[in-house]
């Protein structure tokens, strides 16, 4: 049996520490190395034994999580998963944490319903595993991790069985999927696009509210407009729509107009929103009028959907291993033969802007 991923849990709430400890301990590939009520206690534990991953609250007494994160990344980089509440203040702080080097953001679990607790368990455990594989200046696990059975995009919409994308048009849709490391990758990609680029639809694995903050921040620094998608939003040139956290997003078409449908549904490939759901809907309604892009991320969400886009006539590209934080999703798409091109991050924007 391979060595377990050792996790240090840092949160000022004893209830949250206990809940997270139970969630981590429930996964056979993870173990709780220790818990700490604030960064000072955490620093003492790290001095004695280095964890593989730290889960970190951002709002704590004595030293806030952001300050602690900056110290970790400057002195002894360790993969960090931010476990945050869904307040507006925490959302902005969480986005800062990603800029400072945190690998993932996860919503703090709430003891509401059995389904919510189970979905939180899946997301937290998967985020920790992804963090353990992130490219940092430290030793990482080389062997691939197994995952539990999961639903496919069939749970949201049926497979494409025929040419349902209508005729070729002059309007192109770019569909993008990303996960771990995707906030940085999407920033680089979107900043390189001109104001008149084709309409873009994006799934980035991220909790609700955080997607809105992420979209707003991108809107401030990009030439194109960027917004969190709302049900019925049109996909138009010079605009990117980001799927809201905790909701699937599908591309639809009415005549010559492309628009998005935002809807609830089960976790697909252990995610909501799911890249596979977006890509399948894009294959169905845009077909050869689309370009598919799969970026850095743990797991295989989007790999089969990119293959469906490829088979429907779309141009497809996967981010290369060297420029990925985690070469999981692109690797799986490449293995399926779903990608026409495998390119470094800074070459993806020029590729999607080339005429068909």
Q: How far apart are CA 208 and CA 43, in angstroms?
A: 30
**Other CB atoms within 10 A of residue 337 CB:** 12
Q: Are strands 173-178 and 80-84 parallel, antiparallel or unpaired?
A: unpaired
Q: So which residues are the catalytic ones?
A: 179, 205, 301
Q: Which residue in 284, 285, 282, 4 sits closest to 293, CA to CA?
A: 282
Q: How far apart are CA 127 and CA 55, in angstroms?
A: 10
Q: Which residues lie below 8 Å from residue 335, measured CB to CB, with a gap of 6+?
A: 303
Put residue 181 in one of left, alpha, beta given phi > 0 → left and psi -120 to 50 → alpha: left
Residues forming a β-bridge with 54: 8, 80
Helix (H, G, I), strand (E, B) or coil at 291: strand
Q: Kindly report each contact of residues 41-48 with a partner whose C-beta sits within 8 Å and lies 24 or more positions away, as own/partner.
A: 42/8, 42/10, 42/68, 43/68, 45/8, 46/8, 46/76, 46/78
């Amino acid at each position: 049996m391979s060595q377990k991923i050792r996790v240090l849990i840092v949160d000022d709430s004893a209830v949250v520490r206990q809940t997270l400890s139970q969630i981590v301990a429930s996964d056979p590939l993870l173990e709780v190395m220790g818990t700490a009520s604030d960064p000072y206690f955490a620093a003492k534990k790290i001095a004695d034994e280095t964890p593989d991953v730290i889960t970190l609250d951002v709002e704590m007494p004595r030293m806030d999580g952001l300050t602690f994160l900056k110290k970790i990344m400057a002195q002894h980089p360790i993969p960090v998963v931010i476990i945050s509440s869904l307040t507006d203040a925490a959302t902005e702080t969480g986005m800062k944490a990603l800029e400072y080097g945190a690998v993932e953001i996860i919503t703090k679990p709430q003891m509401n319903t059995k389904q919510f607790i189970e979905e939180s368990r899946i997301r937290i455990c998967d985020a920790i595993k992804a963090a353990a594989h992130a490219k940092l200046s430290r030793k990482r696990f080389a062997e691939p991790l197994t995952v539990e059975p999961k639903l496919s995009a069939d749970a949201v919409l049926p497979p494409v069985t025929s040419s349902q994308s209508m005729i070729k048009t002059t309007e192109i849709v770019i569909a993008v999927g990303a996960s771990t490391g995707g906030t940085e990758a999407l920033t680089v990609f979107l900043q390189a696009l001109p104001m008149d680029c084709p309409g873009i639809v994006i799934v980035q694995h991220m909790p609700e509210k955080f997607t809105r903050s992420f979209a707003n921040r991108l809107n401030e620094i990009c030439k194109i407009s960027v917004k969190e998608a709302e049900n019925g939003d049109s996909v138009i040139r010079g605009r990117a729509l980001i799927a809201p956290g905790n909701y699937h997003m599908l591309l639809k078409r009415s005549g010559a107009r492309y628009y998005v449908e935002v809807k609830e549904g089960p976790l697909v490939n252990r995610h909501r929103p799911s890249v596979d759901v977006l890509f399948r809907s894009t294959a169905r309604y845009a077909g050869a009028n689309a370009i598919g892009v799969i970026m850095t991320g743990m797991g295989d969400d989007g790999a089969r959907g990119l293959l469906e886009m490829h088979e429907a006539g779309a141009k497809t590209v996967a981010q290369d291993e060297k420029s990925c934080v985690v070469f999981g999703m692109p690797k799986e798409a490449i293995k399926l033969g779903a990608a026409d091109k495998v390119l470094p991050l800074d070459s993806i924007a020029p590729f999607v802007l080339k005429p068909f």
